[in-house]
Amino acid sequence: MGSYSHVEILVKRSKSFYNYALEALSRGDFDLALFLLEQAAQLRVKALLLRLLGFTPKGHRIRELLGALAKYLESLNREELAKLVSEFIDVWRSELRVVEEAYTGSRYLLRIYDKSDVEKALKAVEELFKVIEAVENSVFS
């Protein structure tokens, strides 16, 4: 299987996690919804990085993955795209922190998430998807 097939698989899984997150939110299962949103975001960023770099960096923290994306875009002299990614991180920092925390917090910690947490995270993830689309459209068009 080539790396592009792997990209497609990651994107498909990201979409599935996102859709299940919406379902969990509608059922009031906020911990699960946040975990699913984290997975959707993480896999979507990794799909883009795989497409750009040919590999996915280790780790799961979305802000770190996005930081790697911004640095790579800078190395391509795509400062406008790097700035778009960096500004996204700055604007959505607190929501991304909650999403990242949900990776373990929703399963192992005593933290309990509420509807407001999920709604804020959902908006951040939707905005993240827009940023990724903008990068893809610019780099691969």
- For the chain, domain boundaries: 3-140
pLDDT above 80 for 107: no
Integer angstrom CA distances of residue 104 from 31, 54, 100? 10, 28, 8
Q: Find the range with the poorest average confidence among 18-22, 31-35, 81-85, 101-105.
A: 101-105
- The amino acid sitting at 97 is R
Reduced 3-state DSSP string for 54-81? CCCCCCCCHHHHHHHHHHHHHHCCCHHH
Share of the chain above pLDDT 90, in %: 86
> What integer pLDDT is reported at residue 103 of this predicted model?
82
For residue 61, the model assigns a pLDDT of 94
DSSP state of 130: H
User: Tens digit of pLDDT for each residue in 36-66?
Assistant: 999 999 999 999 999 999 999 888 899 999 9
CATH number for 3-140: choose from 1.10.600.10, 1.20.120.330, 3.90.1010.10, 2.40.160.40.
1.20.120.330
Q: What is the pLDDT of residue 111?
A: 80
DSSP string, 10-65: HHHHHHHHHHHHHHHHHTT-HHHHHHHHHHHHHHHHHHHHHHHHSS--S---HHHH
Contact 82, 74 (CB under 8 A): yes
pLDDT, residue 104, reads 80
Residue 2 predicted with pLDDT over 70: no
Tokens of residue 85, six digits: 């990614």
The share of the chain scoring above pLDDT 70, in percent, equals 95
pTM score: 0.92
131 neighbors 91 (Cβ within 8 angstroms): no
Average pLDDT over residues 95-111: 83
